[in-house]
Amino acid sequence: METTYAAEGDYDTGSVRFGQTRGDETVFELIPDDHPTETIAGNIIAPAGSSVVKVVLRNVPSSNGAADRVTYFCRFEDDTEA
């Protein structure tokens, strides 16, 4: 996944530690490459039968205070051509 939030610094790439999956939701922690002392909690929500995957980064630092970042991705079956 590649998203860009350059105005607020790069908190969207780094090392990921995946947690439990319950139903359609998986929790994770992101340690950003550019801010290795920070840990960002997040969720991946991928409902069965849906072509949309929602990724939420929680309480990401910004100039206006911490905020959630929500990004949506399309997922395709293995035999689908993009």
Per-residue pLDDT of the chain (82 residues; tens, 9 = 90+): 445 544 456 777 789 999 999 999 999 999 988 888 989 999 999 998 899 999 999 998 877 888 898 989 998 777 656 5
pTM assigned to the model: 0.78
- The DSSP string of 16-82 is EEEEEEETTEEEEEEEETT-TT--EEEEEE--TT-SEEEEEEEEE--TT--EEEEEEEE---TT---
